[in-house]
């Protein structure tokens, strides 16, 4: 009864337009009052503070600062140049450049929004000049940008790892192949549209020398994910220390190597990163309060029993996970979606023998799809703002991208080797 009440209050609050943090807190407070659960309201405050106290959450603002550094410092332009040299000659080449550049940039920033903004500000205009429909161009930027939270480093994976006590290194390893699959599927759509419409039939093939020169120009930026992931996988640094290392390296590259970012610009960057980080941390605190209530009232066990009665095996459980998260993705951003659902899904996943790392990748892929799905898709709104095309007009042009994204999601869900092969190789 309490579980249904919690779901009803939360969904009602969101659809009424109540800000997310207040909706979550309201969902936690009302059951205590309505059902007279006997918990002092001071406990809610203490759990809010306790939710943001762990030192490992320092990795989040640090990765946000690192992503801001690389996105403002002109790195995006260099990555686009390298992607153009690698993919631009093929049919649908400009679209492939968007996807390829997004995959590379995602390995640097870990942020889908930063990815979409950096790539979209350059490529949407270029694709329109080539003859692409502007709505599709914006939709491609929105969809491809979300690969940034599947390919490591990934802030949603960090959150899931901390909440579920799952190895962040294993999650990062597990996200590599799924991120590549999403990228390849999106590139397939670009190839088809470029060839069938004739707007981008392909052009001059890049010479080996041009490709090498473009790579060398981008190499300092490309070394960042190698530094971060190599440090984590080798055990040399923790994820939090790797985030700090990324900030230091980002400063060196943008100020002293590329010289397209000035120290005087640093205060404004830090303020912007602080605002973004503050929003994330406040959501984490509010969700910790709700998570405390959910755990105390044994809602995960209730959920597990319900799913066991409803499903016939792990395949049905995973289907339910996908359905729930895709629906939540319509109204929630990745961080709160994972914070709210991970404590509910993890106990049931263990009953069915689903690896927690595999579940984490499935959840991340789901919330990535939600990022470019209306009405709340964050990358969709970024692409809309850059292109000047309405969100619904963009969404209508994105049908092929939605189809291949769901196909990739099903592949990741029901073929565990897609996620777990890299983990097993390095364990």
pLDDT digits (tens, 9 = 90+) for 140-193: 999 999 998 999 888 899 889 988 889 998 999 999 999 999 999 999 999 998
* Nearest one of 52, 15, 70 to 280, comparing CA atoms: 52
Domain boundaries, the chain: 2-426
pLDDT tens column, 94-132:
899 899 988 888 877 777 887 788 788 878 888 888 888
Whole-number Å distance between alpha carbons of 110 and 157: 10
Residue 87 has pLDDT above 90, yes or no: no
> How sure is the predictor about 265, in pLDDT bands with cuts at 50, 70 and 90?
confident
Give pTM, 2 decimals.
Answer: 0.85
Whole-number Å distance between alpha carbons of 18 and 26: 10
Cβ atoms of residues 217 and 78 within 8 Å: yes
Kindly write down the DSSP assignment for every residue of 5-68, as one continuous string. Answer: HHHHHHHHHHHTT--HHHHHHHHHHHHHHHTT----HHHHHHHHHHHH--GGGGHHHHHHHHHH
For residue 133, the tally of other CB atoms under 10 A from its CB is 17
Whole-number Å distance between alpha carbons of 80 and 307: 45
Residue 223 has pLDDT above 80, yes or no: yes
Residue 427 pLDDT = 67
Angle between helices 155-164 and 334-351 (to 10 degrees): 40
Residue 143 pLDDT = 94
Which residues neighbour 256 within 8 Å (Cβ) at sequence distance 6 or greater?
Answer: none
Q: For residue 297, give the 3-state DSSP assignment.
A: coil
Q: What is the DSSP letter of 388?
A: -
Whole-number Å distance between alpha carbons of 50 and 48: 6
């Amino acid at each position: 009864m309490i579980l249904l009440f919690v779901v009803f209050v939360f969904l009602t609050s969101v659809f009424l337009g109540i800000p997310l943090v207040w909706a979550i807190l309201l969902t936690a407070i009302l059951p205590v009052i309505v059902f007279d659960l006997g918990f002092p309201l001071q406990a809610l405050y203490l759990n809010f503070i306790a939710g943001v106290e762990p030192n490992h959450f320092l990795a989040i603002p640090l990765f946000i600062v690192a992503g801001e550094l690389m996105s403002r410092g002109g790195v995006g332009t260099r990555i686009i140049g390298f992607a153009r040299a690698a993919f631009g000659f093929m049919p649908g080449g400009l679209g492939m450049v968007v996807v390829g550049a997004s995959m590379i940039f995602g390995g640097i920033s870990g942020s889908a929004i930063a990815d979409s903004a950096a790539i979209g500000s350059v490529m949407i205009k270029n694709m329109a000049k080539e003859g692409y429909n502007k709505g599709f161009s914006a939709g491609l930027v929105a969809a491809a940008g979300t690969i940034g939270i599947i390919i490591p480093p990934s802030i949603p994976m960090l959150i899931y790892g901390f909440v579920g006590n799952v190895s962040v290194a294993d999650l990062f390893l597990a996200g590599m192949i799924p991120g590549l699959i999403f990228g390849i599927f999106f590139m397939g759509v670009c190839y088809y549209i470029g060839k069938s419409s004739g707007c981008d039939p392909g052009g001059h093939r890049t010479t080996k020398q041009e490709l090498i020169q473009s790579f060398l120009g981008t190499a300092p930026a490309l070394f960042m994910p190698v530094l971060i992931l190599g440090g984590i996988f080798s055990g040399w640094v923790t994820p939090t220390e790797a985030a700090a290392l990324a900030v230091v390296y980002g400063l060196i590259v943008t100020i002293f190597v590329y010289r397209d970012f000035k120290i005087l610009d640093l205060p404004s960057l830090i303020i912007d990163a602080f605002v973004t980080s503050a929003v994330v941390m406040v959501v984490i605190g509010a969700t910790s309060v709700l998570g405390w209530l959910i755990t105390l009232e044994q809602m995960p066990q209730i959920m597990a029993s319900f799913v066991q009665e409803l499903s016939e095996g792990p395949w049905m459980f995973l289907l339910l996970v996908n359905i729930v998260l895709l629906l939540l993705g319509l109204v929630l951003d990745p961080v709160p979606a994972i914070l709210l659902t991970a404590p509910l899904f993890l106990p049931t996943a263990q009953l069915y023998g689903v690896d927690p790392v595999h579940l984490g990748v499935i959840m991340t892929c789901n919330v990535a799809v939600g990022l470019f799905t209306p009405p709340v898709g964050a990358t969709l709104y970024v692409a809309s703002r850059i292109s000047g095309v309405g969100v619904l007009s963009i969404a209508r042009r994105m049908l092929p991208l939605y189809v291949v994204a769901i196909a990739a999601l099903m592949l990741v869900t029901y073929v565990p080797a897609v996620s777990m092969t890299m983990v097993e190789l390095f364990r």
